[in-house]
Amino acid sequence: MDTLDDILLDGEEKMTKSTALLHEQFTGLRTGKASPALVENVHVSYYGTMTRLREIAGISTPEPRLIAINAYDPSALKDIEKAILAANLGVTPMNDGRVIRIPIPELSEERRQELKKVAKHMSEEARVAVRNVRREANDAVKRLQKDGKCTEDERDEALRQVQKNTDDYIAKIDKMLKDKEAEMMVV
């Protein structure tokens, strides 16, 4: 990294990726309603190759509590069914030979609390990732100043900007967690 701008841009890009990953993880967390995201990343053994479900089947939600999986190759239905059961999602697929239907049962209060804990753990991992990016960026800025490539004032301003970015991204993570918890608690 040559300049303060490069360090700041790289740090912000990594923080964005951390929050995007958290968002992706949250879409896979089950709530009381059907969502294709629950199963789209399940890996299926398709002709000996581990393949994501969304690559070998169309996934839809025709009803609020039902996921329908329409395989492009009907011979893969049994493998898809096995993969969903093996993924331990807490749902049971029903295979009628043409389409796999997955009814989404209502979540019990106990299960909702467990899912909230999982969501909190995921968001804490994202916060740690953002803080690690902050530490790396701060170290890089201090190294630049030590090497004489920027002034103390520039260093201080860059450190303030890194901290501001960190605070912004942690606030985004907290909001995502709050929204997800509210979504999980809806009966």
Beta strands in the chain (DSSP E): 43-46, 49-52, 57-63, 66-71, 94-95, 100-103
- State how far the Cα of 150 lies from the Cα of 161, in Å rounded to an integer: 15
For residue 125, the model assigns a pLDDT of 94
Check residue 168 and give its pLDDT.
Answer: 96
3-state secondary structure at position 61: strand
Provide the pLDDT for residue 105: 79
CATH of region 33-103, choose from 3.30.1360.40, 3.40.50.1100, 3.40.50.10860, 3.60.15.10 = 3.30.1360.40
pLDDT of 58 reads 92
At 134 the pLDDT is 96
Q: Where are the domains of the chain?
A: 4-27+108-185, 33-103
Specify the pLDDT at position 30. 67
Separation of CA 66 from chain center: 22
In the block, residue with structure tokens 């995007």: 20
Pick the CATH number of 4-27+108-185 from 1.20.1260.10, 1.10.287.3510, 1.10.132.20, 3.40.50.1820: 1.10.132.20
Q: Mind listing the pLDDT tens digit for each residue in 122-134? A: 999 999 999 999 9
Distance (Å, rounded) from C-alpha 148 to C-alpha 141? Answer: 11
Q: What integer pLDDT is reported at residue 182 of this predicted model?
A: 86
- The pLDDT value recorded for residue 29 is 74
Residue pair 26/182 in contact (Cβ under 8 Å)? The answer is no
**Residues of the chain scoring pLDDT < 70:** 1, 30-32, 187
